[in-house]
Amino acid sequence: MAKTIGRIEAGGGTGVAITCDHTDDSQTAALFAQVAADEGRLDLLVNNAWAGPPDGYAGFAQPFWERPVSDWDALIGIGLRAHYVASVEAAKIMVPQGSGLIANISSFGSRGYLHSVLYGMSKTGLDKMAADMAVDFGETGVTAVSLWLGLIQTDMLLKYGIEEFEGFRIAESEQPEFVGHVIETLTRDPDLASYNGNTIVTAEYGAANGIRNSDGMQPISHRQAFGGGPLFPPAGAGAASAR
């Protein structure tokens, strides 16, 4: 946490580290209560709590019937349910204030097979969740979106010194800061309401809004590699569905 706080402060921001076990609904509720008490408002929730199989990425090497059913508890219980619980608590603050953005971190695993059956289920669930939350938000001024990230230049990935991963070039992938800039730009987008309920490809939104990696590279969209456009809302269901 200290490293993250340091990077936030180096960028001119203020970071506050709070420990929260997202398998415990009471801790999640307490976290949002603290934010409301300390700040008086909430403008952005980025749902990105996630846990893979207990044995790490090795758990993605087997077909689902050879895996323990308990994988569900991590990939769905945290990767999907915890996002719903956090969104409930965020909405209780955002709706009364008449504004706010809830952004679910999803992936192209919602469109094509990636990692495992449960991984794809959790990501597709996040897309559908944003689409349906948008209906409930209606004219409240609160927006819910799901973001399809491409390959991310995590510290773990970069330490291997490889040039390609799963067929995608590392140099053309997204830095974590790139995704942060995309989300921050979304919060200021005058057309934010038009994205309500939609899935957004971060690489494409970045390209359309002049957002690049720190080295000047424009991340490449994985849209075609996964066979097509966003899943939610269904084609023809909304003006922004082709974004």
Backbone phi and psi for residue 67, each to the nearest 5 degrees, phi listed first: -100, 155
Phi, psi of 198 (to 5 degrees): -95, 160
SS3 category, 83 = helix
Whether 88 and 29 have beta carbons less than 8 Å apart is answered as no
Number of helices and strands in the chain (H, E): 8, 6
As a whole number of angstroms, the distance between CA 125 and CA 205 comes to: 22
**Which candidate in 84, 113, 119, 205 is catalytic?**
119
Residue 119 among the catalytic residues: yes
Per-residue tokens: 214: 């720190």
List strand residue ranges (DSSP E) for the chain, in order: 44-47, 100-107, 142-149, 164-165, 168-169, 199-201
In 10 A of CB 114, how many CB atoms?
16
List active site positions. Answer: 119
